[in-house]
Structure 1
């Protein structure tokens, strides 16, 4: 407690408080703007930190990081454009809520869920950092391989309707994830001689194309807005008692999942959000409504990704292992200031460590105060005709995508993935499992190769390890249960299945 009090004294200093406000405001702004993203914003602001104290620099960059997770849900809900990959799952229920005239409620609830998720993540970071670090240390390549397989199998539950379509989308995502240089041999795969593809397909490009450009193609013939924001008041944005009742359990489930997943190196907010959504598909009383505008579909993943963002600092600061590209940039900023993160960070730099944790509380309160009053402004964007919104969105997407590597190939790819997403929608396939297959596919390959090298090619070694063996057993049980349910549904003489909400 004494260290936390000392941390608040550091965080409440005028400079740190000012740059915390600057960070969360800029993070929210770039999160709202589709096509920019957290990685680009941190990269642009990194030179500014050269002239700041290391603690102040870390507080500002952290504010940009978790602030963008707050703001990223706005574009997902209003325009079906994820501000970051971790907000892509919010599109599944947030955008349908906006189409139903409940955009204000959706935006308000995402702010509350994000605040609660971030707060729980901070509490766990404060009280259980040693335990979470110990759990993370117990995960080797075999355990990570089993965890990724479990996540990949769970991804098929995101799709509405036929599970075979979900599996097909996961496989397509894994194939797209294979594009680029092989991590072991250095041999290019599926690049067709194009040097721009040697580094693979960027996740931002894929997410923007599948969820953003495809929606523009699907709605291009609508010259007027389908939704309006007339007479929007703060009272009309408040969730109903039923919304609170349905959201509360999902927020706490998502916060717990995000806090644990965020503490594992190499996972991050995206996997936490998708895993939380998958859990809701299995345990929520209203699981059949998910994907059609259910409040649980936004509260759970938003709580999860913000909790994961907070606990992602645990492996970064205590082990020097960044869980994402954004955390790698923050770690690089520390190294440029002569600070090398590791197990001794808490003892060697207590002011910085506890000052950062205290700034998380301050930043989350600032974000809540910023987002609630601005909800009305974001909702009023719906009053603009689509013929005005679409060109601006296309410009943001193209500028944001081009700024990643300054390659015109990226712009072509995002348009190509937009056409692919539009075609998938016409054929009744959902792009969400494709995205998670793209994320987890390369990780499965990497960790499997590492595990096989350590086991000298003996796959039974993975099954004999307690954690990985248990996870793979769960995978087998889930797969067997899915096959059994499918057999019962389509066996001769079976009753006609009830239509899903998507049908």
Structure 2
């Protein structure tokens, strides 16, 4: 069964339309990543409405390739401008920009491209290998286990988000609350609609997504639009690295890819965490640590391999449990929801063909990244010079068009702008919008599975303690909250002090 689904996914991706969408998505991701201040998450949110009229295979192929392309594109601005195009490219600045100052911008970008390719390809293959094993495991999941998974997703994302644990959990709880707007899933009674018929069907997930991730980005760009003019370094040297260079860097790339895959498995962590971890390990394993920060190629290869490897790693919990490993994979889940496919372990069983299409799209996107990157990286230098004010106006225009096109409703445009202003406030307050998005996604799953569990247990809350899987998942959820509380930190400090005293 699994083999037939694997082949079905491959055939879906290799159609002419989907190959063209992979190339186009990768190219678009490359340009988005190269623009300082923009992110893959924002681009995915803007393009999500375009997938409404596509079949799942085509929509997922385009979004996955954009995700992969933007992960590499961030290194272009990092190396040429000393400004990370995406947060995950921050570590690349340390050695990438010194290389461009030495006239080796092409060499740095070439190493970044090939490291990104190998990292992404290995993570895609790891995802393809893990999927059949995960498919066997998730057959044991019922409503009780699904509720535990939803609780785990909210607590882990909340506790690992930027800022304090409390703010992260409150953000996730607010997302859960907003997911209840509309008709009750069981009784059909309107809830928190305030008599407005536009809210009877609930808050459109895509509208909230566009507002939370795109409008704040545009407003932040407008804030710094009158700053200094961006002047990028020129690419004057060879872009394709020599075989000897790749052979020397390959152990570093393989190690960093493994770090990226493992980091991606942990929901809430992203490419920025993995890239700094990989950079630190590359420096630790180096014979000459003094070269780092002055233009060391290993300092470019390590973070770039890691942040692209996160893509496949983050999709493993997304596919197996329906818990998005990052805000970008949350949008990929949103694309599935648009197609009427609810997130959760049933992705691998009931929608195996769609799931394997997504996996193959990630692998094909990395192959497309190598080809497109070699052809268009030099052209992307021009993109880094686009004024911030122009980019901000383009983002806001696309936000309005995209949110209106969902239901041809001006109410959705107003709702999107409201979410945008709230997201901007969250950014300023240091609260991550990612847990809120996860709450919006997992809310319907949590509510439905809870009601089904109550029916199974005849209203008995102890039903959640009857399942060993649910007990383990809920225990991990409790620990993820406790380990980040002040009490846990105080205990850890006290234990450390006692050991030092002895």
TM-score (norm 2): 0.65
- Where in structure 2 are there 5+ consecutive unaligned residues? 33-42, 78-84, 282-299, 323-331, 342-347, 498-502
- The CA RMSD measured in Å over matched residues stands at 5.4
Match of 2:20 in 1: 22
CA distance, structure 1, for counterparts of residue 164 and residue 405 of structure 2: 38
Does 1:40 find its partner at 2:38? Answer: no
Aligned to 2:226, the other structure's residue is in SS state coil
Does 1:446 find its partner at 2:445? Answer: no
CA distance, structure 2, for counterparts of residue 113 and residue 182 of structure 1: 45
Distance 1:132 1:171, change over 3 A: closer
Give a deviation string over 1:242-290, Cα, whole Å, max 9, x none.
Answer: x9999866643553576xx8xxxxxxxxxx8636579969998979xxx
Match of 1:475 in 2: 477
Match of 2:80 in 1: none
Contact 2:22/2:361 (CA < 8 Å) preserved in 1? Answer: no
Aligned to 1:223, the other structure's residue is in SS state coil
Match of 1:218 in 2: 220
Contact 1:111/1:372 (CA < 8 Å) preserved in 2? Answer: no
Give a deviation string over 1:404-454, Cα, whole Å, max 9, x none.
Answer: 222111211121112112222333433233333333333222222222222
Distance 1:131 1:25, change over 3 A: same
Q: Pick from 68, 85, 98: which aligns with 2:66?
A: 68
CA distance, structure 1, for counterparts of residue 361 and residue 158 of structure 2: 38
Match of 1:121 in 2: 124
Match of 2:145 in 1: 143
Contact 1:110/1:302 (CA < 8 Å) preserved in 2? Answer: no
Distance 1:359 1:148, change over 3 A: closer
Distance 1:481 1:75, change over 3 A: same
Deviation for aligned residue 1:471: 1.2
Distance 1:329 1:158, change over 3 A: closer
Q: Pick from 274, 281, 293: which aligns with 2:268?
A: 274
Distance 1:183 1:356, change over 3 A: closer
CA distance, structure 2, for counterparts of residue 72 and residue 395 of structure 1: 21
Which range moved further: 194-203 or 465-474?
194-203
Q: Pick from 394, 397, 402: which aligns with 1:395?
A: 397
Deviation for aligned residue 1:101: 9.3
Match of 1:255 in 2: 261
Match of 1:459 in 2: 461
Contact 2:119/2:305 (CA < 8 Å) preserved in 1? Answer: no
Which range moved further: 27-36 or 210-219?
27-36
Deviation for aligned residue 1:42: 3.5
Match of 2:230 in 1: 228
Distance 1:213 1:220, change over 3 A: same
CA distance, structure 2, for counterparts of residue 354 and residue 416 of structure 1: 36
- Where in structure 1 are there 5+ consecutive unaligned residues? 47-56, 80-89, 262-271, 288-293, 317-322, 333-340, 347-351, 496-503
CA distance, structure 2, for counterparts of residue 329 and residue 428 of structure 1: 30
Deviation for aligned residue 1:489: 9.1
TM-score (norm 1): 0.65
